[in-house]
C-alpha cells in the first residue's frame, strides 16, 4: 500500500496472521523500540502510541505521541516492566507536537535520551534529555540539538568510545525538505521525486564529548548496490525511508533501516561508521501496520531484533506493540531474513 491511511489487516480474528512473537507489554501501545544493555540489564526506548483522534494522512499526523515510557527486562525471557513516564512533551521547552522514535546512550556517567519532535513551527528537529538513571526521569535541554533536523535518531557508540547519530526520514519525516542545510516549507511532501537520481540519503553526525551536540558536519550516508552505484529514487524496495539503526558485528558496520512505503527492514554493510554501505538484503519482512521499525542488539552472546506490529490493536497503524525475536548472522556475515508471521 502507498498510503499511511491504509491498515492492511483483516477484520476476521480467524484469518489474522499468526505472529512469531507476542507484544512485550499490552497495557499500553508502544513502537519503534531502541534496545540497549546498560549495566547488564535490558532497556527498551520506544515511542508511546496513543489514540489522540488526529486523522490519518500520508504525513503521519496520526502519530501524535505525547510522552515516553521506558521498558526494562532483567533477562530476555523475563517480564517486561513499564517504568512510567520518563519525559513528557509539556516539559520539552521547544517542542510543539509528535514525539516520534527515540533512542538512548550512556556516557559521562549519565543517560541521554534522543528524540524527534516537531517544533512550534511544525519542523521536525532532534532533542536530547539527560538523566542519572536509564529509566529517567529525563530533563530536556532548552533547545533542539544544533544542526539537527528530521526524525528517528539512532545513537551508536563504537568500540573506541566515539558516538555517532544516524537520523532522517522522508515523507512525514521531512528529510526531502532539507537541502543545503535549509528547510523548505513548500518542498515535496514525499521524496525528491527524481526516480533516476540517487535516493535521498540518511544522515550521520559524530556526537561531541558532552553528548549534547554534533562534533562536526552532518554527512550523508551513502547506500550502494553491488556495482558500487548509489540506490536510485525509484528503487522503493531498497532505498532508505526512515528508522536508521547501526550495529557492529565481526568488525563490520551494519546500517539497517526501513523502506517505508514498501515496508521492509533492510541492511547494508560497510567498513566505517560513516559508510558507504553496500545493500545486502532484508532483515524483517513487512509487519501488520504500515510502519516497520526496529533495533538490533547483542544480549549475552546472542543477537536480537526488537520490532513492532499492529496486531494487538487489530491493525491500527498508529497503535503498535513492541516485540522481540532472535536474529541470526550467517557465517558469511549475511543476516537471515525474519518472517514475522507463521506462513
Which residues belong to the active site? 32, 242
Nearer to ligand FUB, 28 or 107 (CB): 28
Exposure string for 15-54, b = 16+ CB within 10 A, e = fewer: eebebeeebbbeeebbbbbbbbeeeeebbbbbbbbeeeee
Nearer to ligand FUB, 291 or 321 (CB): 291
SS3 state of residue 119:
strand
Task: Establish if 243 lies at the interface with ligand FUB (CB under 6 A).
Answer: yes
Task: Establish if 99 lies at the interface with ligand FUB (CB under 6 A).
Answer: no
User: Binding string to ligand FUB for residues 248 to 287, with x set by CB under 6 A, is what?
Assistant: ----------------------------------------
Task: Establish if 293 lies at the interface with ligand FUB (CB under 6 A).
Answer: yes
CA-CA distance, 97 to 117, in Å (whole number)?
6
CA-CA distance, 3 to 5, in Å (whole number)?
5
Total chain residues near ligand FUB (CB under 6 A): 14
Q: Residue 162: enclosing H or E segment and its boundaries?
A: none
Within 172-231, the residues that bind ligand FUB by CB under 6 A are: none
CA-CA distance, 250 to 333, in Å (whole number)?
8
Contacts of 77 (CB under 8 A, 6+ apart): none
Burial (CB < 10 A; 0-12, 13-18, 19+), residue 325, is: middle
Rounded to the nearest whole angstrom, what is the least distance from the CB of residue 241 to ligand FUB in the complex? Answer: 8
Task: Establish if 63 lies at the interface with ligand FUB (CB under 6 A).
Answer: yes
- The one among 56, 242, 261, 309 contacting ligand FUB by CB under 6 A: 242
Give residues in contact with ligand FUB (CB under 6 A).
31-32, 47, 60, 63, 100-101, 151-152, 169, 242-243, 291, 293
Amino acid at each position: 500500500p502507498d498510503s499511511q491511511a491504509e491498515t492492511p489487516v483483516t477484520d476476521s480474528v480467524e484469518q489474522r496472521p499468526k505472529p512469531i512473537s507476542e507484544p512485550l507489554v499490552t497495557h499500553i501501545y508502544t513502537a519503534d523500540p531502541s534496545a540497549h544493555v546498560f549495566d547488564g540489564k535490558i532497556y527498551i526506548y520506544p515511542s508511546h502510541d496513543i489514540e489522540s483522534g488526529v486523522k490519518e494522512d500520508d504525513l503521519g499526523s496520526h502519530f501524535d505521541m505525547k510522552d515516553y515510557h521506558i521498558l526494562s527486562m532483567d533477562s530476555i525471557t523475563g517480564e517486561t516492566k513499564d517504568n512510567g513516564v520518563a519525559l513528557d512533551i509539556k516539559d520539552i521547552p521547544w517542542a510543539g507536537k509528535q514525539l516520534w522514535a527515540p533512542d538512548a546512550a550512556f556516557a559521562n556517567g549519565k543517560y541521554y535520551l534522543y528524540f524527534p519532535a516537531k517544533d512550534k513551527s511544525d519542523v521536525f528537529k532532534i532533542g536530547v534529555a539527560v538523566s542519572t538513571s536509564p529509566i529517567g526521569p529525563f530533563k530536556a535541554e532548552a533547545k533542539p540539538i544544533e544542526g539537527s533536523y528530521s526524525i528517528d535518531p539512532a545513537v551508536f557508540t563504537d568500540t573506541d568510545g566515539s558516538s555517532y547519530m544516524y537520523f532522517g526520514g522522508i515523507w512525514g519525516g521531512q528529510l526531502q525538505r532539507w537541502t543545503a542545510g535549509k528547510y523548505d516549507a513548500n518542498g515535496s511532501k514525499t521524496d525528491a521525486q527524481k526516480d533516476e537520481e540517487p535516493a535521498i540519503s540518511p544522515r550521520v553526525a559524530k556526537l561531541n564529548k558532552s553528548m549534547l551536540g554534533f562534533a562536526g558536519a552532518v554527512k550523508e550516508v551513502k547506500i550502494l548496490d553491488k556495482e558500487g552505484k548509489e540506490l536510485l529514487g525509484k528503487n522503493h524496495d531498497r532505498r532508505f525511508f526512515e528508522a536508521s539503526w547501526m550495529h557492529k558485528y565481526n568488525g563490520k558496520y551494519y546500517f539497517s533501516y526501513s523502506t517505508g512505503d514498501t515496508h521492509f527492514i533492510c541492511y547494508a554493510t560497510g567498513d566505517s561508521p560513516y559508510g558507504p554501505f553496500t545493500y545486502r538484503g532484508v532483515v524483517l519482512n513487512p509487519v501488520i501496520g504500515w510502519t516497520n521499525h526496529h533495533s538490533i542488539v547483542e544480549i549475552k552472546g546472542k543477537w536480537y531484533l526488537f520490532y513492532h506490529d499492529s496486531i494487538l490493536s487489530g491493525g491500527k497503524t498508529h497503535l503498535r506493540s513492541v516485540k522481540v525475536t532472535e536474529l541470526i548472522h550467517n557465517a558469511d556475515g549475511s543476516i537471515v531474513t525474519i518472517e514475522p508471521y507463521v506462513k
